Amino acid sequence: MNQENQCPPQTNPFKPEPARIVRTYYLTEDVKFFQVRIADMEKALSFRYKPGQFAMISVLGAGEAPFSISSTPSRPGLLEFCIRKAGVVTDALFRLKENHLIGIRGPYGNGFPIQNMKNHNVLIIMGGIGAAPLRSVLLNCLDNRDQFQKVTLLHGAKRPAEMIFRDEFFDIKDREDLECHLSVDQDDTGEWSENIGVVTTLFPKMEKIDPQQTYALVCGPPVMYKFVLQELLKLKIPRDQILMTLERRMKCGVGKCGHCAIDYIYTCLDGPVFTYWDVLHMRELI
Ligand SMILES: Cc1cc2nc3c(=O)[nH]c(=O)nc-3n(C[C@H](O)[C@H](O)[C@H](O)COP(=O)(O)OP(=O)(O)OC[C@H]3O[C@@H](n4cnc5c(N)ncnc54)[C@H](O)[C@@H]3O)c2cc1C
Ligand code: FES
């Protein structure tokens, strides 16, 4: 892991930092937004991370689990997460209110190669909870807009009520320095003003981009990858410029327990961001 992304040295790498929930609210029926601040202000401000990295969040008595950092490093001090209720830890997290304490350790994983992406087009394709890691890179691009060429967002959800960060994306949708297309598979409200269809139906609506100058970032449900990858290959985006953030079962997050291993790869260290090239060589990744 890059030195600049590490927390200040800790004596015990498994010891979480106490962090306070500053804000929490429902994004959809089963997904909640958490804004948290590490209790020690100095540590809060020196917590450096890259978009695409994750943190281990722990709740006393319930355990811990990995979650992508959804906030952008360009706005230090607060960390944001977007969490779907799935089991023991997330159930406990959903019961916590503002001001409650949780534990945080990290940041972990490789994150997106932001340095290489500079001066390139950035095409972000997200589906469902895939918005969690990709919101970080989107906000980071928008906060450092002069460092990137064209920034395009394609975001798909099943229904309007299931679109994560819907209000936020509607707020930025008409920015002149962003091309943003939103879609739902089905409109059960009769009030949806954007595209209707699976996320791949947005590709023909995109303005033309130079594929050699483009990084494409994908995160979403497993079924989405196959069809989105086909579209990206049709656009002729180089395989090593197609980046995916993938989930594996993890326990330690730091390459010690072997839970996330595939062959010789530890996805907590070598991932969660992989290129399409990596995936072609390790089909088990998806
Ligand atoms: C790098 C990374 C980033 C992530 N980012 C996010 C994020 O931003 N937001 C988010 O909501 N989630 C994210 N996740 C997923 C999240 O870590 C899991 O949903 C986590 O398991 C939730 O913990 P839990 O204790 O609430 O659920 P668990 O109690 O662990 O249960 C979760 C699900 O897994 C099943 N399960 C439990 N144990 C096993 C087992 N041994 N084998 C197979 N299935 C099992 C359960 O039946 C349930 O369906 C991320 C995962 C990774 C690896
Ligand atoms: S989660 Fe323990 S080695 Fe990766």
- Ligand 2 centroid, distance to 60 Cα (angstroms): 21
- 19 and 41 in contact (C-beta within 8 Å)? no
Ligand positioned closest to the Cα atom of 164: 1
- pLDDT value for 235: 96
Judged by DSSP in three states, 277 sits in helix
This prediction has a pTM of 0.92
Does the domain at residues 3-107 carry the CATH identifier 2.60.40.1580?
no
- pLDDT value for 7: 56
- Ligand 2 centroid, distance to 241 Cα (angstroms): 26
In the structure encoding, which two tokens stand for residue 43, read together? 């540590």
Domain boundaries, the chain: 3-107, 114-245
Ligand positioned closest to the Cα atom of 34: 1
In the structure encoding, which two tokens stand for residue 6, read together? 């590490």
Calculate ∠ Cα 71-203-116, nearest 5°.
45
Ligand 1 atom having least distance to the Cα of 91: 26
- Ligand 1 centroid, distance to 90 Cα (angstroms): 8
Instruction: Give me Rg for the CA atoms of the chain.
Output: 18
- pLDDT value for 210: 97
CATH of domain 114-245: 3.40.50.80
- pLDDT value for 179: 97
What is the torsion angle, in degrees rounded to the nearest 10, for the CA atoms of residue 224, residue 230, residue 231 and residue 232?
100
- Ligand 2 centroid, distance to 56 Cα (angstroms): 11
Q: From first to last of its 286 residues, what are the pLDDT tens digits of the chain?
A: 444 555 555 567 788 999 999 999 999 999 999 999 999 999 999 999 999 999 999 999 999 999 999 999 999 999 999 999 999 999 999 999 999 999 999 999 999 999 999 999 999 999 999 999 999 999 999 999 999 999 999 999 999 999 999 999 999 999 999 999 999 999 999 999 999 999 999 999 999 999 999 999 999 998 899 999 999 999 999 999 999 998 878 899 999 999 998 888 899 999 999 999 988 887 676 6
Q: Which amino acid is at 255?
A: G
What residues have CB less than 8 Å from 162, skipping those under 6 apart? Answer: 28, 29, 128, 184
Q: How far apart are the first and last CA of the chain?
A: 22
Which residues, judged by CB distance below 6 Å to any ligand atom, belong to the binding site of ligand 1?
54, 65-68, 82-84, 86-90, 129, 132, 247-248, 250, 272
Q: How far is CA 85 from the centre of its chain?
A: 17
Q: How far is CA 179 from the centre of its chain?
A: 19
| Fold match between domain 3-107 and domain 114-245 | no
